[in-house]
Chain A
Amino acid sequence: MTLDVGTVRKDFPILDRKVRGGRPLIYLDSANTSQKPRQVIDAISGFYERHNANIHRATHELGEEATEAYEGARIKVAGFVGAHDESEIVFTKNVSEAINLVAYSMGNASAAGGPERFRLGPGDEIVVTEMEHHSNLVPWQLLCQRTGATLRWFGVTADGRLDLSNVDDLITERTKLVSLVHQSNVLGTFNPVRLIADKAHAVGALVLADAAQSVPHIPVSVPDLGADFLGFTGHKLCGPTGIGVLWARRQLLDEMPPFLGGGEMIETVWMDRTTFAAPPHKFEAGTMPIAEAAGLSAAIDYLNETGRDAIARHEEELLTDALGQLGEIKGLRILGPAEAVDRGTAISFEVDGVHPHDVSQVLDELGIAVRAGHHCAWPLHRALGVQASTRASFYLYNTHEEVAALAAGIRQAQQFFGVA
């Protein structure tokens, strides 16, 4: 299957928009959030127009339909990442919540004598990497503060890869959990999750992969990846905001204490105690994002029907083109791998003499949407000796003409600020 970008673009109504006084929108900020195809927008409005009700508890036809939409989405997601079955899929509001769910569950296990492999205390270690998004760093800092465990991390090489030189010093019998990003949201780098997971499992540690940036772009199969937990979010893969996913091996979900307490996560409740529902419902307290689940389901259908391999190939061509065109700009430095090998379509860069905010402002004036700042990865920027960067990121609906417009826009910013 090959991807016809012209056909794809017709599915995304927002791509017809004009911005900044009539310029066609060039949307290069999909690593931040992706745009939504008509199919997803229709699924959400269709749910509210015809099927809206609460799930699991409503004893009427609409309630049955809403439950079917929500639980059907869970089955769809399970198939999407190759889970053993849908009971391994927990819906959250985003990846941050998925990661916090694991962190707080481990904290609860530590406080209340839960299963040993989730318990943390002084002498235990959690290992992350220096290229984490804050969402896969701060929850572990907080957990270490609560439990007295120690946080350690992999460094990053100058070319933006994970520094694996001290892997055997970092992953030891003291390690309880390794949590790492599958694809860096700044550098685009793909990390060798399988290799690290094998090392972690050899010492009895658990592994969490933050797949927010990888799952939207390439087929990810949880048995192949080798992690115990996988987090990703709907809004970066053409789905709505407000719904994320935690996949975990069923046995772990069985053993883990709950995170949030409330309605729908219980089995029986007395005034002084509660027993909990079986996974995944044990981790889904309160009314969940039901319409969003319907939208996520439609997004997965959309990606599958467009062809996941075709999307990946199209993006690789865009990536090669963009790395080439940006690489030719004098005074521009790409952060992260300069070649399209083990690398995704997020490209962060510095422009000599022009602050990222100023680069992005000139691009915005030309209708080109990018992101500027530290992209929620402040320690990574510090490690690379960079205060902030500009990031362009590409998805299935982007074109080679848009890559050329980006390169021309950067040159215009250099001229505007008198550095070229």
Chain B
Amino acid sequence: MQIESLYQEIILDHYRNPHHRGLREPFDAEVHHVNPTCGDEVTLRVTLKDVGGDPVVTDVSYDTLGCSISQASASVMADLVIGKPVSEAMRISQEFLELMQSKGTAQPDEDVLEDAVAFAGVSKYPARIKCALLGWMAWKDATGQALETTTGQAS
């Protein structure tokens, strides 16, 4: 079935065994995002550490209600951004967004996106792109808010 290009084994693995799931303390910012078309929800917390200059993402914790794509995507996203400087995590986020907007034409860079390359097939299904982006958008929003509180910078 063609559907296996959408539901890659990596995605199903993350869906069944999500990484970094659950809401943890302490945190610098918490956001709640919904997908208004299907009602999927994510509550997501970000913790940053100011190391002088570029803060580092020390934790991302989350609680999701949603489909396999949105849950797996949140899990992969947490793997990718935890431990990275915010600027690098934002670049990865941008690269993932471009992959999602590629309508199945992009060649994802596995060195940058790691497990997230498995979502390339999602970009061929317009109705599912929002599912894949739900956690990422929540992370970006929470990180922007956390930057304002921890470093006083505008995001």
Contacts and interface: CB of A to CB of B under 8 A. Distances in A.
Interface in A334-386: 355-358, 361-362, 365, 372-374, 378, 381
B126 to A, nearest CB: 12
B154 interface: no
Categorize the interface residue count of chain B. Answer: 10 to 19
Interface string B58-95: 00000001111100000000000000000000000000
Given A365-B1, A373-B39, A374-B39, A355 B66 contact: yes
B101 to A, nearest CB: 20
Given A362-B3, A365-B2, A416-B7, A357 B39 contact: no
A330 interface: no
A357 B67 contact: yes
A387 interface: yes
B67 A356 contact: yes
A388 interface: yes
B37 interface: yes
B65 A417 contact: no
Contacts of A374: 38-39
A357 B66 CA distance: 9
A387 B42 CA distance: 13
Contacts of A378: 39
Given A20-B2, A361-B128, A356 B68 contact: no
B40 A358 contact: no
Nearest to A381: B39
B129 to A, nearest CB: 12
A21 B37 CA distance: 26
B3 A388 contact: no
Interface string A379-407: 00100000110000000000000000000
Contacts, number: 47
B38 A361 contact: no
B131 interface: yes
Contacts of A357: 38, 40, 66-69, 128, 131
A100 B96 CA distance: 41
B66 A361 contact: no
**Which of A358, A378, A381 gathers the greatest number of chain B CB atoms within 10 Å?**
A358
B68 A358 contact: yes
A405 to B, nearest CB: 15
**Which of B2, B39, B41, B128 gathers the greatest number of chain A CB atoms within 10 Å?**
B39
B23 interface: no
**Which of A357, A373, A374, A388 gathers the greatest number of chain B CB atoms within 10 Å?**
A357
B6 A361 contact: yes
B3 to A, nearest CB: 4
A20 B125 CA distance: 11
Interface string A2-25: 000000000000000000110000
A381 B7 CA distance: 27
Contacts of A356: 38, 67
A416 B128 CA distance: 18
Contacts of A20: 2
A370 B105 CA distance: 27
Interface in B1-48: 1-3, 6-7, 12, 37-41
The 7 closest A-B pairs by CB, nearest first: A357-B67, A355-B67, A373-B38, A365-B3, A374-B39, A388-B39, A358-B68
